[in-house]
């Protein structure tokens, strides 16, 4: 009996330790049954999906809060795990009750019973919403810059640290009397008269030094 009691105490201590880790984790942690119904989750997961623990445990499934456009791919991967035992990762969207869309990366793995059969699924959920928003803003900014670059009434170019042309606009091509394809095979020194090469090299060197300073 003493050995049995000690084993039970050790088990409870281990479960309490694991529970504390899950509760304090920076990532969302959630367990579902094989149908996707929520069984348990930590506070961070509740924050990510914008729902209380009671609401999630009221019979909701992961399918009920997943964006419809992401559901077919997610369900297909989810249903494959019990058959293959292979974990998977997916980037998808959750729909919050307030109407917001939340991007997450979920790492999903099976949980096995004593007979080695999958009995549940566990997912580690990272909120990607801020990153997705920044990526979208960056793409929009780059598209706007590209449009300004292309339509500028002055010659514009982007060159490498070695002075090779990386990007040129139509006006620069007109000024140099060369096609875009031709300029992109050349460097700034190839279209500069010999007498002006030293000041061009100095300007490039100063620009690189300034960039290096700002990146420190």
Instruction: Indicate if the alpha-carbon torsion angle 133, 134, 135, 140 is positive or negative.
Output: positive
The HSE-up count of residue 68 (CA atoms within 13 Å, CB side) is 0
**pLDDT above 70 (res 13):** no
More confident residue, 21 or 203: 203
Q: What is the pLDDT of residues 162-196, one digit of tens each?
A: 889 999 999 999 999 999 999 999 999 999 999 98
Going by C-alpha positions, the residue among 159, 152, 151 that lies closest to residue 187 is 159
For the chain, percent of residues with pLDDT exceeding 90: 56
Q: What is the pLDDT of residues 25-46, one digit of tens each?
A: 578 999 999 999 999 999 999 9
DSSP 186-215: SBGGGGS-GGGHHHHHHHHHHHHHHHHHHH
For the chain, percent of residues with pLDDT exceeding 70: 87
CATH 1.10.10.1100 assigned to 2-128: no
């Amino acid at each position: 009996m003493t050995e049995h009691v000690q084993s039970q105490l050790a088990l409870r201590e281990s479960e309490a330790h694991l529970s504390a880790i899950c509760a304090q984790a920076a990532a969302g942690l959630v367990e579902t049954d094989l149908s996707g119904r929520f069984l348990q989750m930590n506070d961070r997961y509740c924050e990510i999906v914008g729902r209380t623990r009671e609401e999630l445990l009221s019979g909701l499934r992961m399918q009920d809060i997943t964006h419809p456009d992401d559901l077919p791919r997610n369900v297909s991967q989810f249903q494959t795990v019990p058959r293959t035992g292979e974990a998977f990762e997916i980037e998808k969207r959750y729909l919050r009750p307030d109407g917001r869309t939340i991007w997450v990366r979920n790492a999903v793995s099976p949980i096995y019973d004593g007979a080695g059969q999958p009995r549940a699924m566990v997912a580690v959920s990272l909120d990607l919403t801020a990153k997705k928003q920044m990526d979208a803003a960056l793409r929009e900014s780059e598209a706007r810059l590209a449009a300004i670059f292309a339509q500028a009434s002055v010659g514009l170019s982007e060159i490498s640290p070695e002075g090779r042309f990386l990007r040129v606009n139509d006006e620069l091509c007109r000024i140099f009397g060369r096609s875009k394809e031709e300029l992109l095979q050349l460097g700034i020194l190839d279209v500069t008269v010999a007498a002006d090469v030293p000041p061009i090299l100095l300007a490039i060197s100063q620009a690189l030094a300034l960039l290096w300073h700002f990146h420190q």
